[in-house]
Amino acid sequence: MTAPSPIKVAALALPLILVIHAPIRAAQPGDPTAVARLKRTQLVMRANELRQARAARWAGRAPSGPRIEAGDELASGAADYGVPASGRPFTTAALGTNVRANNRATDVVTCPGPVPCSTQSEEGIAAWHQYVLVAWNDAEHSTDAPPNNDVQGYGFSTNGGASFTDGGVPPKGTNWTWVSDPVVTVNEKTGQFYYCALADSTSNFSGLGIVPATFSGSSLVWGTPVMVRKVTASSLLLDKPWAVADSSTGNVYVSYTIFTAFGYDHIQFQRSANGVAWSPAVTLSTPADSGYVQGSRPAVGPNGEVYMVWAAAGPVDVDYFRIRKSTNGGVSFASQVTFPSGGNSSAWLLRQLGNGRARVQPRARRHLSLDRCGPQRQRQPRARLRGVERVHQLLR
């Protein structure tokens, strides 16, 4: 019997934002209902932010750069978080020189100096052999007229990341506008890359687009853009997508948050055998969590099993990981599992990150990764895997 692959999950609680329209009773310590309402307010505000950004974008008055969310600094401050299995702090001593993936000469915004300073943020990266594809939010075209005010960019490398070519805006369909939250993934056997991100389809629709790409020598060759899902923006909005390619079957899986006009949200999932034709959306979060979920991540195990994880806001300072598993290529999923059963507190999370410093990063993302090589490749001390092993017991 093949041992299940370890799942590594990390998350941070959603920030609590209190909006006061009139004098109200303050949330009392230990009042789970009141605090849960505050957490839901945060998600409602996120949906309103998306609607306002869409209206500004299609009116031609988009801001000069994409939003930088709290927690984005994790990418540049990774050395501050956690310790490796050896117990010694992470350092940058073994890292090479930073290599810029974007071309600042094409930035349209300048800062005092003058120096180019259009915003690039929310990066995604995938690599196969010497080929690397990087995606990011990019403000270079944010001041163009709709629908060409795309806030997306990409770069690629054919020498293992030693140097990059800034490719500008990725290909898109007719009347698309690339909006936000890019992610890239690659089929580890074929080298087929996929670029996936939020995309408006005219001013009336909120959507999720995906484009395949392959490398040919020193060139990146794009395929045909496909709209995975589009919804009427007056009633529904998509947010926080993620994609993963299954190297064992060739399938591609995407997940995302969908907001309703009434302030509720759900985690939804779609699958494709070829990246072109997509299954109908399936809701994986429960009705009880509606309005409290965000940030889903799909991942594929060594035998083609599909794992889905997302965050669910709970009462007071406790939040949860919800996990579901599919053993038939995402056609159906087993019942939801909560880990840990008692929820995650901020103190628990900081201990799992391993740094011992009382430093909280609101809105940082949860992630899911799988060791696809099996248990023989595990070198971490057993104590470091206790939580991971517990997840396996729950999902078996």
Q: What is the 3-state secondary structure (H, E, C) of 199-251?
A: EEECCCEEEEEEEEEEEECCEEEECCCEEEEEEECCCEEEEEEEEEECCCCCC
- pLDDT, tens only, 79-104: 333 344 444 555 556 677 889 999 98
Token output for 34: 């009141």
Q: How many angstroms separate the CA atoms of 177 and 182, rounded? A: 13
In a domain, 1, yes or no: no
More confident residue, 384 or 246: 246
Mean pLDDT, the chain, whole residue set: 75
More confident residue, 98 or 281: 281
The residues with which 214 forms a beta bridge, in sequence order, are 221
- pLDDT, tens only, 150-200: 899 999 999 999 999 999 999 999 999 999 999 999 999 999 999 999 999
Q: How many angstroms separate the CA atoms of 151 and 139, rounded? A: 5
In a domain, 243, yes or no: yes
Residue 337: name the closest of 280, 264, 265, 284 by CA.
284
In a domain, 2, yes or no: no
Q: What is the pLDDT of residue 352?
A: 41
241 to 176, 185, 256: CA distances (angstroms): 17, 12, 4
The torsion defined by the Cα of 157, 160, 162 and 165, in degrees rounded to 10, comes to 0
Token output for 321: 């990981």
- The distance from CA 159 to its chain's CA centroid, rounded to whole angstroms, is 26
In a domain, 323, yes or no: yes
Phi, psi torsion values for 335, nearest 5 degrees: -60, 155
In a domain, 161, yes or no: yes
The three-class DSSP label of residue 293 is strand
Q: What is the pLDDT of residue 33?
A: 61
The residues with which 125 forms a beta bridge, in sequence order, are 134
Q: What is the pLDDT of residue 254?
A: 98
Instruction: Specify the pairing of strand 252-260 against strand 153-157.
Output: unpaired
In a domain, 226, yes or no: yes
**Mean pLDDT in residue range 29-48:** 62
Number of domains in the chain: 1
pLDDT band at 37 (very low <50, low <70, confident <90, very high): low
CATH code for position 218: 2.120.10
Q: What is the pLDDT of residue 356?
A: 34
Q: Which domain holds residue 120?
A: 7-395
